[in-house]
Amino acid sequence: MSEGPGLRERKKARTRALIQKEALRLFRAQGYAATTVEQIAEAAEVAPSTVFRYFPTKEDLVLVDQYPPFAEALRAAPPELNPVQAVRFALRAVLGAQTPEEREDGLERERLMFTVPELWAASLENIRGVLAGLRAELAAREGRDPGDPELRNVTGAVAGVLIALWFDWAADPALDVPAEFDRALAHLGAGLPVARQAGPGEPPGEAPG
């Protein structure tokens, strides 16, 4: 009896996940540049041609399109939330639905993208696509044109806050990134207030504005 389409798709998904899991393990153990596709194929017990069938380039082993589940969560955000609040809601939903292993693998991919020079160009293109998708989703939520300058500013601010945090995380891998993401978006949503540092003998200052 032949396999049904559902079973075939599940087997493909398992093979794809196994290949990527072994790739990330080898990247951690011996470095991205030193790891070959042949080594990844051997670790996953598949042929190199199978690796290339699922991941046409070595960079694709790291650059996974995680935008679709985020976009779905963003569409489910309550309509009364403003754009930044909606992004925070969606990020919480996506991270909350992940298993600890999925979250760790996702964070590892992000770390590689920001620390491996060979992945920079591909990661920047990936970020550009995410920003375009985010603008389109927010435009649909707000009933505005994606080219609206205000939406450009919002998506740019969100990207700037998150990218700055990614760089901090690359320097300090112990950082609790999901929690910091949440705090960063809460701060952005509050208008990025910065409290004045109190001088000697002064009480703590209030944040401006």
DSSP 158-178: HHHHHHHHHHHHHH-TTS-HH
Q: What is the pLDDT of residue 208?
A: 42
Residue 192 structure tokens: 């990025």
Q: What is the pTM of this model?
A: 0.75
CB under 8 A, 24+ apart: contacts of 155-159: 155/131, 156/131, 157/84, 157/188, 158/84, 158/87, 158/134, 158/185, 158/188, 159/127, 159/131
Residues 10 and 93 in one domain: no
- The amino acid occupying position 80 is E
CATH number at residue 119: 1.10.357.10
Number of domains composing the chain: 2
Which structure tokens are listed for 12? 């493909």
What integer pLDDT is reported at residue 37 of this predicted model?
95
Are residue 172 and residue 100 in the same domain, yes or no? yes
118 with 139, same domain? yes
Q: Which domain holds residue 38?
A: 5-57
Residue 102 confidence (pLDDT): 81
User: What pLDDT shows up at residue 2?
Assistant: 55
20 and 92 within one domain? no
Do 169 and 71 share a structural domain?
yes
- 83 within domain boundaries: yes
> Do 11 and 108 reside in the same domain of the chain?
no
User: Are 140 and 52 in the same domain?
Assistant: no
125 shares its domain with 90: yes
Q: Would you say residue 175 lies in a domain?
A: yes
Short-list 126, 106, 127, CA closest to 169: 106
Supply φ then ψ for residue 163, to 5 degrees.
-65, -40
CATH number for position 35: 1.10.10.60
pLDDT at 10: 86
**For the chain, which residues score pLDDT lower than 50?**
207-209
Residues 154 and 68 in one domain: yes
Q: Does residue 146 form part of some domain?
A: yes
In a domain, 204, yes or no: no
